[in-house]
Amino acid sequence: MKSLAVFSVKGGVGKSALAVNLAHAAATLSARRTLLWDLDTQGAATFTLRLAAAAGSARKGIAEGDLAPLVQASDYPRLDVLAADKSLRHLEKQLVEDDKAKRLKKLIKGFDKDYDRVILDCPPGLTELAEQVFRAVDLLVVPMLPSPLSVRAYDQLVEHLARFRGAPAVLPVFTMVDRRKTLHRDTVAASPERLTIPYAAAVETMAATQTPVLAAAPTSAAGKALAALWAQVERGLTTG
Ligand SMILES: Nc1ncnc2c1ncn2[C@@H]1O[C@H](COP(=O)(O)OP(=O)(O)O)[C@@H](O)[C@H]1O
Ligand SMILES: [Mg+2]
């Protein structure tokens, strides 16, 4: 089993949209048994996959070290979800209190037999939860808007990670790229190797249609960009 987290210090950069689409791509394009774990109380990823909080609470499952009873099937084959719930508001406190730096890593390891890919949708911020995520996953996918300040925040994150022993590989992605904007074009041109996801109605409407882009519009520009991103992620996970 390999794990990845969609992470950014910033909010509103397309993390949840990416997490849902990558998880759906893992399950469909690569036929991986995939678990999407929504760690953000806002539950955007959970909602987008037409789910709601499970009957039990994540807080209890985490404390007891058994999350399996909370796993729900999605509408897509091989794609399961650990939905967000309100108890995640206390997750930060819970992780600090129990003073186990690798608590999250252990919980993910618990899914080793049942899943090939575990994908985390994270809340924003360099919090205790983020530090646990850095210790737990094989790869961080970091979406950013194509602006100098977002690129700077990303560089700061990479610097921060450099201090971690066993830090995960990092894959930066420009999201919501609007090629009509000079600033977007220039920022993307300065890092030509970085993958880009266009600003696209196909992604934006996911919140209304509750359908991943590769299910609703696989041949759209955004669909192709997401498939290309997944291919790169999968290469990173299988060779890394
Ligand atoms: N590539 C995109 N094109 C257009 N809208 C997008 C794109 N990615 C995300 N969005 C929209 O931007 C908003 C924030 O995205 P979201 O994935 O929730 O960000 P985050 O999880 O980082 O807070 C949502 O309304 C989402 O539908
Ligand atoms: Mg989100």
Give me 199's structure tokens. 């600003």
Q: How many CB atoms lie within 10 A of CB 15?
A: 26
Q: Which ligand is nearest to the CA of 146?
A: 1
- Encoding tokens for residue 33? 């048994």
Query: Residue 45: pLDDT above 70?
Result: yes
**Rounded Cα gap, residues 116 and 2, in angstroms:** 6
pLDDT digits (tens, 9 = 90+) for 121-139: 999 999 989 999 999 999 9
| Residues, beta carbon < 5 Å, ion ligand 2 | 15-16, 40, 44
pTM of the model: 0.97
**CA Rg, the chain, in Å?**
17
CATH number at residue 174: 3.40.50.300
* The amino acid at 196: T
Please choose from 6, 8, 16, 41 the residue to mutate so as to test ligand 1's pocket, defined by most ligand atoms within 8 A of CB: 16
CA dist 80 and 148 (Å) reads 36
pLDDT in tens, 56-85: 888 888 888 889 999 999 999 999 999 999
Number of structural domains found in the chain = 1
124: amino acid identity, one letter:
P
What distance in angstroms lies between residue 82's CA and the mean position of ligand 1's atoms? Answer: 20
**Measuring CA to CA, how many Å separate 76 from each of 24, 35, 105, 202?**
8, 11, 26, 19
Instruction: Indicate the average pLDDT of the chain.
Output: 94
Q: What percent of the chain has pLDDT over 70?
A: 99
- Per the structure, the complete domain to which residue 10 belongs is given by 2-239
Which of 47-51, 52-56, 143-147, 159-163 has the lowest average pLDDT? 52-56
Say if residues 38 and 84 touch (Cβ distance below 8 Å).
yes
- Tell me which amino acid residue 221 is: A
Residue 165 in this model has a pLDDT that exceeds 90: no
Nearest ligand to residue 178 Cα = 1
